[in-house]
Amino acid sequence: MSLRLGVVSFLNARPLVYSLQNDPRFVLSYSVPSACAADLQAGRVDVGLIPSIEYARSSEPYEIAPGMAIATGGEVLTVRLYYRENLDSLRSVALDTSSRTSIALLRILLHERYGLAPTWIEAKPNLAAMLEVADAALLIGDPVFSQLDSEVPSIDLGREWVEHTGLPFVFAFWAGRVGALDRSAVSGLEIAKRDGLAHIDEMARAHADAQGGDVALYARYLRDYIRFDLGEGEIEGLRLFYTKAKALGLIEAVPTLSFCR
């Protein structure tokens, strides 16, 4: 029986799934990160590339596929807070709800770095419309590419986190219910990651053909801004993220990280 995978539809996930579409062990369905988490929780997929905050919020225990993630060691480029005037005095933020991890990260950073607790407004990822209803807007994923040259000032949340903590930040990783991931499935995911990292230029061209934009930017983004490893540093950063999220009341408890063996 094929393993049903919930896959993030953004460019930053493509290196993790490059060869999976041709692997009969897997059936892929694509959606935004928050929907991947909802699909896993509802049983519509067996394993999902879920926002890291959702691992801590699940009512059922999950197991993590070791060694693979969507993470950053500095500027991440596509998780940004745009603001109209003075960042220090913003009172409201429009949220792109595609990724719940980015929302939690933003709340932590605004609280700890700027002493802010604004009003939160859910909104579709349209920067101009978001800034009509709020002082600032959180925009994530592929919609950010078209706004990188915007005259609206912004901060990069990956860089803010690393400057604040000295640790990498983990946005998402593969997780499934206990028993869903076996050694064969993990091996398939590892092979896909290795193949993907060897074909970044091809993925960048395919994304530009489908969505428009700069092939060189997409390739540089995947090579220089996104980390695909879940190593010791990333795990340390993940644990700190959970600790800070618990302190702010965003999760009920700091979870134990359980990896598929």
User: What pLDDT sits at residue 24?
Assistant: 86
Residues of the chain with pLDDT under 50: none
- E strands present in the chain: 3-8, 26-31, 47-51, 62-64, 67-72, 79-83, 92-96, 119-123, 136-140, 154-156, 169-177, 227-230
Compute the distance between CA of residue 10 and CA of residue 77 in angstroms, rounded to an integer.
13
Q: Which residues contact 198 (CB under 8 A, 6 or more apart)?
A: none
User: What pLDDT sits at residue 43?
Assistant: 92
Q: Phi/psi of residue 205, each to 5°?
A: -65, -40
User: What pLDDT sits at residue 88?
Assistant: 87
The secondary element (H helix, E strand) that includes residue 217 is helix 215-220
User: What pLDDT sits at residue 59?
Assistant: 86
Mean pLDDT score across all residues of the chain:
94
Look-up: residue for tokens 């349209």? 126
Compute the distance between CA of residue 83 and CA of residue 152 in angstroms, rounded to an integer.
7
User: What pLDDT sits at residue 23?
Assistant: 85
What are the tens digits of pLDDT across the range 69-127? 999 999 999 999 999 988 988 999 999 888 799 999 999 999 999 999 999 999 999 99
Give 28-31's long-range contacts (Cβ < 8 A, gap of 24+).
Answer: 29/4, 29/5, 31/6, 31/7
User: What pLDDT sits at residue 260?
Assistant: 87
For the chain, percent of residues with pLDDT exceeding 90: 85
Concatenate the DSSP letters of all residues of 83-140 into one string.
ESS-GGG--EEEEETT-HHHHHHHHHHHHHHH----EEEEE-S-HHHHHHHSSEEEEE
Q: Which residues contact 110 (CB under 8 A, 6 or more apart)?
A: 93, 116, 117, 118
User: What pLDDT sits at residue 114?
Assistant: 94
User: What pLDDT sits at residue 131?
Assistant: 96
3-state secondary structure (DSSP) of residue 172: strand
